[in-house]
Structure 1
């Protein structure tokens, strides 16, 4: 409680006016009356009639009849109940509600709000001092409005609730520079929820661009904003019912606000809505916002967009906010926002996508414009535990995308009318951890060497995926290991001229370990950001570089043959056999060696191995073999499987089936000298042709074979990275499989 100022005790019966040398004046509100001398209404009327920057402060005495414990909490404040909308503010003005606690008493002490930090950068979020001056909007449509040519208008330290429309509306002419600071909007002066029937029916703060205006830039900062029927804060176009060119939206700057449980009376709005250009929405906490009617683009934390006819949805910044628990998305960019940045936000636990990017519809049939949403950079955010995808590029028309349209799979093209031009996501082919260095390789698109994705920024994140549970249960077209949500940003690489990437990140301090999962996004030079790619499990470099792994049937027994290019601390080998190519992962294999087969320790010299399988086999059956290496540190690496069909003992040259097996290794990389072994069988009495095709379907190699079992080595060092197909064809058999070459 602050001390009472005796000057104002003796002055409560008069309306105090103090003039400055420049004719600016200070008008002091000394009662809670709706009108008349000493009222807030009269102070605004007087200020509107006086040129220059005026001030309104408050010194309402404790004896005022509307000084009370209004919610039964034990704290007291002054309530002004309006009989009609306050006069439009048409001159420069500073309304200082905080002056009441200085001039009379801090009768409502303490703070409300979550506090703590917001955003990836952990920006300190203030708590909010409870207020002494409360305005009951009394179900009026626009109780506080800035209009005309007013500039430099500041409304500070005021609480407003129970408005029948927008509680505070900024809708000037040629004026600029409106600020709402340290206000309670939609809540009571002690921060509590108004009773049913006493909440603001529409927006808490609406900045509206009107015909003839030169600009409308409204700043809302350090405010506690909740329970409003529409958005907590919104920037709107000129006349929503009858828009006239130019189709422009007001600009809002929203910083350090706590925005919650808004939208209960809306079908299209969110916690904070920026429907214009140059909006800055940062350092806010937005949670539990909702929608009465569950339309697309509603019930989220933050929205950029909203009107397909707007001409200036660009250069918006959404930075270092935290959005959680919202009814649909955390953040949405919808219908024509271009050139926007979504940076370092923490977006989690929302009941739709974390970040939704959508055109809503490709062509607006009302305003006859294409609704492009592109060039929107989404970078270094933290997304996790959302029901939908972490980032969803959505192309579903009209209102059918409440939870996004799920995974948009790579297609190696860009489509300008689609969200962020359908930018393809990265594919991580290798993630190897050595100490604090994470080695990464991969490509953008469906295959390596996609020049369309050259010079793209590939960002890497620790994924929220735990390796078991689907991280996005609302996504039906995703399969294990699922498309990730990036929880912790690690760093980035830049793709080369062919859309491939390779490099190392220093991950010191991230606590990253083998078995953790990572994911990634790609952003092209035009700033189109993709969805997250598939999760990739982190491994450590194998102590063995295996150059070949085959099996044949010799002298009545299976013989397993393998070669290494190099070995590091390799103490030995184990060989496992099953009757199906999934037996190893299902723990249905047997180990055919009783003792570990000795390795070569550490050597850079190629080494050849073979081992005979002495377990019983059945003629004409196919068996599958896995090879396991084991290092001094206990690291194990599994290779395979490879198949072997046992011939008829009466005629070992008789082969009952023609069959093409999967090649090994796949993909072909530098570590295996760009070579792979293709296993196949050709039945008795047939010849067959093995053919290799590139991704365009062009034949690049072909070889012919007679009846028998083969393990054919294909060496691809002279070919470019990409997808290749191998096909086995005989008069009774035709089968094609795919392999990947990465350089």
Structure 2
């Protein structure tokens, strides 16, 4: 072979191949020299330019536009692989970043180049990182097409967020310079690539930024997936993490799934949503959340109110929960997800996982009218303490329906102080339609001290269309302000399909359903069996609720129908078989309801002393032991178990029926008592005082009279109803006036005033009748009126006069004469 130099232009060499050359020492020397020239060609000419930059981690990226090294206070990453490609997309060389995260590709001639960072080679500065296990997502790169690097802030996730970045390329690899899809030497798409137009000057700051907390696709696994986020967050420690715009002390998943819009940071050219939903369908169980994590899909760009990210388990094999929080995941928040069709629970909060929040999710529902999308077991199962399900914010409440077993199952002994607020359990998101969960809406079977609902409307849970509404088998839980068996407006029949609104079973001690606060009561209606069934337990107070239209009783002790009063309490029986109140009278006069009655089998049973008696307008239950449709007020029994009193009521008319419950000092509430028909009575008696000159000329209040002027005071009460017995009137005379002895007259006018207030003509008639009546003695004796110690008295409750009774539809009038001192 013959080698012949054709051109010795500095920096270039060419060779021609011929035949029959002899290998002499001088020829070998020339070959060495030519080899050096060829190496110089690969490295580039003397004085050629360089491309440099930094690969960094942005651990505190909080979503939106990607951030530069300076803006992020980025952490440079050593040993990241950086690859150089020529203008045709062919691999040229590779290098690694140094200890400062910097790379330098030098000795390059003018032209177009492509610089790629291999994503899997980018490490995390956070403790726990394992190469090849924890994968980052690109959040920032530059573009130097103009020769000057310009930040590219809308490429979060890289070239195509839906695919993973392939591994290292080498000699023979090349990619399409538009799509960066490899055409030889490697398969896949290069995710982190920048184009550089290089002239005679160096190009610097061709930087690349990465984060380990970003979800950019709907894949079941791999870079940028939900699964990879969980793998990363479980291992990488959160010490010092301060993600922009996010609460400290917990790691936040950064949702950046492209939706076809130009939201800051998103790849507008890609839309990974189907319709309005991003569907994530893992084929195997996701890792349990083992480190505090805020998995808040309400931060996904495009979210407004309803969830837009769906986690669906229909393709997953084996017994799989949608999301599971391990004991070490205490403080985790799961928010804004649709969770459907998993073979176990939608969300499982394991024992020891305290302080977990689940809010704003649809669990078992994809929207109004959805069916066959529930999870096979519970919507949410809780074994960890202090879980918070829902909330009072406008988008805090969960929709939990269509699940095969319970909507919410509090099952672990450590599940104490769970708070459940503002959820729809059993109905669709519209709060009106829906088929409910397979068993109980909320089952409290372990733990204690849970709170279901609250006095604010936003805290109200709507628990309807389930097999049963709420089942309680633990102590000291509070159920207040909820709708159980209605739609979210409280008007439509959406009762539990087959059982009670609320049932208390073995272990239920010291629970409170409702309360004495103005907004504590629950609305419990339309359920297939009882409103409240106290099948076991004691000290379970049922107070201030609106209970109506249930198929059986409003409240049932022992689950055996109406329990007759027997005058005793029975230890070991549900709520001690507390006797219900018996109303002996219920008289309505305008808005005043006068009541009397007792608790027990007969008046005078001290066993029921100091019981709270709540009075309700009855819903006319067919048993005659009505349910309490609306609370009218309460009274307290005396030492012998009897009660009487006056309540100011509204919305009640004569002919309505009232019923009531009795609750002892230990919180044992009775069933509803027998209905009592409300009878009409007169209006409340009020004293009116007028002044006249002798002869009947009225005097106006505030007039000035000369000293010695004689005039008359008239006091009266007008009774517009039935007779009122044992009435007392009293008037303390002003010292400016002197009573004239022997002037006191008492009259029962023949007709009462027609309205609530007597007219001047009616008062003139009363005056005339009284003035003509004989006077009474001033002393305290056998008649009904007296003047003593500067006071006019009528009736016997203050002094020893005779009793004063005011007949039906009459006016009682007192008239006496004074003069000005």
TM bracket, shorter-chain basis: 0.5 to 0.7
**CA apart distance, 1:288:** 4.0
Residue number in structure 1 paired with 2:538: 374
8 A Cα contact 2:259 2:273, kept in partner = no
1:326 aligns with 2:326: no
- Alignment-derived partner of residue 459 in structure 1: 614
CA–CA distance in 2 between the matches of 1:223 and 1:191? 14
- Structure 1 distance, partners of 2:644, 2:583, is 10
The Cα shift of 1:180 comes to 0.3
- Does residue 1:50 correspond to 2:221, yes or no? no
C-alpha change, 1:46 and 1:329, in structure 2 (3 Å) is: same
**Which of 579, 585, 593 matches 1:430?**
585
Partner of 2:296: 96
- Counterpart of 1:618? none
1:160 and 2:356 aligned: no
Distance 2:257 2:425 in 1: 30
TM-score (norm 1): 0.56
The aligned residue for residue 419 of structure 2 is 253
For the residues of structure 2 that align with 1:219 and 1:68, how far apart are their CA atoms? 28
Q: 1:170 aligns with which of 334, 339, 349?
A: 349
TM-score, scaled relative to structure 2: 0.51
Deviations 1:218-263 (A, max 9, x none): 434411111111111110035xxxxxxxxx6554211000111599
- Check whether the contact 2:401–2:436 (CA below 8 A) recurs between aligned residues: no
Indicate the residue corresponding to 1:502 in structure 2: 644
> Corresponding residue for 2:472?
304
SS of aligned partner of 2:441: coil
Distance across 2 between alignment mates of 1:458 and 1:338 = 21
Cα distance in 1, alignment partners of residues 312 and 583 from structure 2: 58
For 2:682 and 2:276, the matched residues in 1 are separated by: 70
Q: CA deviation at 1:271?
A: 4.4
Residue in 1 aligned with 2:668? 528
Partner of 1:492: 634
Aligned mate of 1:383, from 547, 550, 563: 547
Q: Determine the C-alpha separation between the residues in 2 that align with 1:302 and 1:177.
A: 22
Structure 1 pair 227/253, CA: closer, same or farther in 2 (3 Å)?
A: same
Partner of 2:603: 448
Paired residues in the alignment total: 447
Distance 1:345 1:570 in 2: 36
Identify if the C-alpha distance between structure 1 residues 61 and 76 changes in structure 2 by more than 3 Å, giving closer, same or farther. Answer: same
Distance 2:719 2:460 in 1: 52
Q: In the superposition, relative to structure 1, how do residues 336 and 271 fare at CA in structure 2: closer, same or farther (>3 Å)?
A: closer
Residues 559-638 of structure 1: pairs in structure 2 closer than 5 A: none
* Aligned 8 A contact 1:147 1:170 in 2: yes
SS in 1 for 2:233: helix
Question: 1:269-303 CA deviation, whole Å, 9 max, x = no partner?
Answer: 3345464311111034434433xxxxxxxx22222
Is contact 1:231–1:273 with CA below 8 Å preserved after alignment?
no
2:529 matched to which residue of 1? 352
Give the distance between the partners of 2:465 and 2:390, measured in 1 at CA. Answer: 18
> Which residue among 134, 138, 155 is the counterpart of 2:310?
134
Whether the 8 Å contact between 1:26 and 1:57 is mirrored in structure 2 is no
**Greater fraction strand:** 1
Distance 1:450 1:65, change over 3 A: farther
Secondary structure of the 2:228 match is helix
Structure 1 pair 486–569 and aligned structure 2 pair: CA distance change class (3 A): closer
Q: How far off its partner does 1:494 sit?
A: 0.5
**Which position in structure 2 is the counterpart of 1:80?**
280
Distance in 2, Cα, partners of 1:519 & 1:220: 35
Show the counterpart of 1:310.
none
2-structure distance, mates of 1:200, 1:571: 64
Q: Who is 1:687 aligned against?
A: none
Is residue 512 from structure 1 mapped to residue 652 from structure 2 by the alignment?
yes
Distance 1:146 1:11 in 2: 28
Return the alpha-carbon distance in structure 2 between the equivalents of residues 273 and 231 of structure 1.
10
Kindly indicate whether the alpha-carbon contact (under 8 Å) linking 1:235 and 1:251 is maintained by their aligned counterparts in 2.
no
Q: Distance in 2 between matches of 1:571 and 1:434?
A: 9
* Helix, strand or coil at the partner of 1:270: strand
Distance 2:382 2:464 in 1: 23
SS at 2:468 equivalent: coil
Question: What are the ranges of 5 or more consecutive residues in structure 1 without an aligned counterpart?
Answer: 17-24, 70-74, 110-128, 210-214, 239-247, 291-298, 306-312, 360-372, 395-403, 466-470, 473-477, 544-566, 573-601, 606-629, 634-743
Structure 1: how far apart are the matches of 2:378 and 2:225?
A: 26
Cα distance change of structure 1 residues 169 and 251 upon mapping to structure 2, 3 Å threshold: farther
List aligned pairs for 1:105-254, cutoff 5 A. 105-106=302-303, 129-138=305-314, 140-173=319-352, 175-188=353-366, 190-194=367-371, 196=372, 198-208=373-383, 215=385, 217-221=387-391, 222-237=397-412, 249-254=415-420
- What corresponds to 1:366 in structure 2? none
Shift, 1:264, TM fit:
7.1
SS in 2 for 1:503: strand
Deviation string 1:603-651 (CA, Å, 9 cap, x unpaired) is: 799xxxxxxxxxxxxxxxxxxxxxxxx9999xxxxxxxxxxxxxxxxxx
Aligned mates of 2:348, 2:378 — CA distance in 1? 9
